[in-house]
Amino acid sequence: MFTETINNIQLTFETADTVFSPNGLDAGTLAMLSAVDLTPDEKLLDLGCGYGAVGIYSAKLIGEKNVVMSDVDDVCVELSMRNSALNGLNDMKIIQSDGFDNIEDNDFTLILSNPPYHTDFSVPKRIIEKGFNRLKIGGKMYMVTKRKDWYMKKLTAIFGGVRIMEINEYYIFSAEKRSTQYANTSISKKGRN
């Protein structure tokens, strides 16, 4: 268990040795959170929520009814539930889901993700392609990685452009949905749902 203060908001997290960054928030997550403007009219998805840091922090700012958290790992889902309650948030929507498989919402204004970027690109490829279709027009996807080129190219192919910020040796990508169609129309239709 550890306590973290982000922008004067003190949060407590119970973790496990089997989850990502169990002893404190990683620098990439903190960098991504510093780049995102959160307002009460947002509907946010914390995709791959781990033990819930991004979603819980966001809920403190924009309200728990405006945040959905999901992770494929049942330990992460359980920890997110416990950590939500531990931080006074008792009505969080937390879903066990492999990517978007069990998420029905398709009207997010923000999707935030710290994907597993030390593996192959199949997971972030799916997040980007399917996430595009879950955003409202004007909605934004934020991702944080230490790799630049592949993410820049993929986000540009899907969204038509990407903004890149470098913070503490991490790349924060922000891409806005401006159309209902992928920017590169030659991309396979199977990523559309």
Tens of pLDDT, residue by residue over 160-180, are 999 999 999 999 999 999 999
**Rounded Cα gap, residues 104 and 94, in angstroms:** 12
Q: Is 18 part of a structural domain of the chain? A: no
Q: Is 14 part of a structural domain of the chain? A: no
Q: Is 148 part of a structural domain of the chain? A: yes
Indicate the pTM of the whole model: 0.93
Q: Is the pLDDT assigned to residue 50 strictly greater than 90?
A: yes
Render pLDDT for 135-156 as a digit per residue (tens, 0 to 9): 999 999 999 999 999 999 999 9
Q: Is 114 part of a structural domain of the chain? A: yes
* 120-143 per-residue burial string, b: 16 or more CB within 10 A, e: under 16: eeebbebbbbbbbebbeeebbbbb
Q: Is 113 part of a structural domain of the chain? A: yes
Which DSSP state fits 120?
A: -
Query: Domain span at residue 166?
Result: 26-191
CA angle in degrees (0–180, nearest 5) for 19-23-24: 100
Q: Given pLDDT bands bounded at 50, 70 and 90, which one contains residue 116?
A: confident
Tally of domains in the chain: 1
Q: Is 127 helix (H, G, I), strand (E, B) or coil?
A: helix
Q: Is 5 part of a structural domain of the chain? A: no
CATH of the domain at 36: 3.40.50.150
Q: Is 15 part of a structural domain of the chain? A: no
Q: Is 7 part of a structural domain of the chain? A: no
Q: Is 110 helix (H, G, I), strand (E, B) or coil?
A: strand
